[in-house]
Amino acid sequence: MPFSLFYTPMRRHHDHGRPHHHPHPADEHPDHETIRSGGGREIKVVRRVLDANDRMAEANRRLFAAHHIFVLNVMSSPGSGKTTVLMRTLEALMPELRCAVIVGDICSTLDADRLSVSGAPVVQVNTDEFGGDCHLAAHVIERASAELPLDDLDVLIVENVGNLVCPAEFDIGEDRRVVILSTTEGEEKPIKYPLMFRLCQATLLNKIDLLPYLDYDRQLAVDNIRQIHPDMAIFELSAKTGEGFAPWLAWLREAISAKQSA
């Protein structure tokens, strides 16, 4: 994993990038001015590298707002129980709310197959087409949402690629970001991946049904989250047994209705 808040550049040329293809929206005409420096000519650019993604995310946000669709971006490391949490969440929200899911994985349709049981339309995005990307970028969401009946939806849930690093950096046009952290992952993840925990509004502490079998300090996990994000909404639950789901669903329903009445 490449990311640490306090990264010390120790590795030299050992990271191998993979080829990667995705459309790059054409750059318009950046404001530049030419200044002289040293031998060459320095051209001022002053652009965010993720500008293209941010603009696409804003376009997505406008599209979803026009359809009054609430968008939830769900992130976590692999194996934290995202799909199971979402299955139970969909079961509770539907049919009262019309939901759809975009699920991102590097490859396979296993998660989409599981989620489609809910009856919600599911679009599986395999990022291997895009070079095995570690996250869903805004243009991928734009493409996937074209396959959904936007006029007939209230809620779009995006199950991001399992990864606590990169998805945090890419705005997709969501209303809320949620991170799932399972008890089997230990208590330290928030400290190790601070950007993710800074940017999410809620953390679901999943797999609490396993607590009797683990040396897991739930207070320490909560303290670590609060150290990074003091206002974080934290829900301890078990996607397997359903324990603890009510407060999470109440939080989610409130966010959805705020969007719908906006």
Partner 1 sequence: MHEMGLALEIIDIATASIPADLKGARVQRVNLTVGKLSAVVPDSLRFCFQVASRETPLEGASLNIEEVPVVARCLQCGNEWTIEEPVFRCPACDSPRIQVVSGRELDIRSIELEEKEGD
Site of interaction with partner 1 (CB under 8 A):
1-3, 5-7, 9, 11-20, 22, 24, 26-27, 29-30, 32, 34, 37-52, 131, 133-135, 137, 163, 165-166, 168-169, 191, 194-195, 198, 226-231
- Residue 35 C-beta: closest distance to partner 1, Å: 8
**Which of 224, 20, 2, 6 has the alpha carbon at shortest distance from 139?**
20
Residue 147 or 188 with smaller CB distance to partner 1: 188
- Residue 231 C-beta: closest distance to partner 1, Å: 7
- Residue 159 C-beta: closest distance to partner 1, Å: 18
- Residue 89 C-beta: closest distance to partner 1, Å: 27
Residue 46 or 262 with smaller CB distance to partner 1: 46
Amino acid type, 148:
L
Decide: 46 and 132 in contact? Cβ < 8 Å. no
Decide: 255 and 225 in contact? Cβ < 8 Å. no
Residue 151 or 231 with smaller CB distance to partner 1: 231
Residue 32 or 62 with smaller CB distance to partner 1: 32
Residue 225 or 256 with smaller CB distance to partner 1: 225
* 247-256, Cβ contacts within 8 angstroms, sequence gap of 24 or more: 248/89, 248/202, 248/204, 249/89, 249/92, 249/93, 251/202, 252/72, 252/89, 252/93, 252/176, 253/93, 255/70, 255/72, 255/175, 255/176, 256/70, 256/97, 256/154, 256/155
Residue 11 or 151 with smaller CB distance to partner 1: 11
- Residue 84 C-beta: closest distance to partner 1, Å: 25
Q: What is the dihedral angle through the alpha carbons of 136, 137, 139, 140, rounded to the nearest 10 degrees? A: -10
Both structure tokens of 38: 């040293």
- Residue 186 C-beta: closest distance to partner 1, Å: 15
